Every structure is written in C-alpha cells, then in structure tokens.
C-alpha cells in the first residue's frame, strides 16, 4: 500500500513538474533570457542614455540569434528534402552546406559585434552584472529545443 501511494505521489510530482512553465522553443527561451538581460541592464545602468543604447544592443543581439535559429530550421528542412531525393548530388549538398556556413559566419560576426558594442557602453562593474545574464541568454539559445512556435 505504501509503495503504491509513493508511486502515485511520484507520478503527481512528475506531472506537476512537467507542467511548470518552461520555454519549449528557442524563440520562447530567447524571449525569457532577453527579458532577464533587459531587467539587469535596467537595474544596473543608471545613465539613461547608455541604458537606452545598451537595450538597443540587446534587441540587436536577440534579433540576430532568433534569425540564426530560424535559418538553422530552414537549413534542416532543405537538407532533409535534398537527402530524401534520390537524384540529389554531392554538389547539391555541398552547395547547401556552403551557404549555411557563410550565413553562420556572418551571423557569428554580428552577434560578436553586438556583444562588444554592449560591453563598450558599460562600465566594468556594470558589465560584471550583465555578463552573467548575457551568458545565460546565449546558453538558453544554444540549449533550447529548436522547434518553431
């Protein structure tokens, strides 16, 4: 009887824990992490002009990461289509991979530019507070399920 009761309690905890609001898509994770980064900047940066500019860089960073995530999804779809086609050649696949690599390099450069511009706007003390939220944003983006909304 106790084993059965413990099993039910465990099942309820799993169901309730699974129903907790969590970002299930890369887009949702980006919104949540971006909001957290904005909150840190609002709290840490007293100068209104620098704060406004910093928030613009956060918007730029999140837009770029969201766009890159969308391009990954499009690439996966196109690659799946190519690989399912019997007539696909190595040249077709190489061409698609080449375009994806070029887009990835451009996106990586724009993300780095936004991060460096953000750091340049902040003092060392402000950056220490913001860096943790910034790292979380990038980590959440990388680890989020890549399903589209």
- Distance between CA atoms of 8 and 19, rounded to whole angstroms? 16
Mean pLDDT confidence for 107-124: 93
pLDDT tens profile 7-56: 333 433 333 344 444 456 767 777 887 888 899 999 999 999 999 999 99
- pLDDT band at residue 70 using 50, 70 and 90 as cut-offs: confident
Enumerate residues 6+ apart whose C-beta is below 8 A from 6: none
57 by Cβ neighbours in 10 Å (0-12 / 13-18 / 19+) ranks as buried
| pTM reported for the whole predicted model | 0.70
pLDDT of 6 over the 60 cut: no
* pLDDT at residue 144, rounded to an integer: 65
């Amino acid at each position: 009887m106790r084993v059965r009761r413990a099993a039910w309690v465990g099942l309820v905890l799993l169901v309730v824990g699974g129903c907790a609001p969590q970002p299930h898509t890369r887009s949702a994770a980006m919104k949540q992490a971006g909001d957290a980064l904005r909150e840190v900047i609002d709290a840490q940066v007293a100068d209104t002009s620098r704060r406004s500019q910093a928030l613009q860089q956060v918007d730029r960073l999140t837009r770029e990461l969201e766009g890159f995530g969308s391009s990954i999804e499009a690439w996966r779809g196109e690659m799946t289509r190519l690989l399912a086609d019997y007539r696909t050649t190595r040249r077709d696949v190489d061409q698609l991979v080449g375009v994806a690599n070029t887009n990835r390099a451009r996106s990586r450069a724009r993300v780095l530019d936004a991060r460096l511009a953000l750091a340049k706007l902040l003092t060392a003390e402000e950056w220490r507070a913001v860096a943790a939220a910034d790292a979380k944003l990038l980590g959440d983006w990388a680890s989020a399920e890549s399903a589209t909304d």
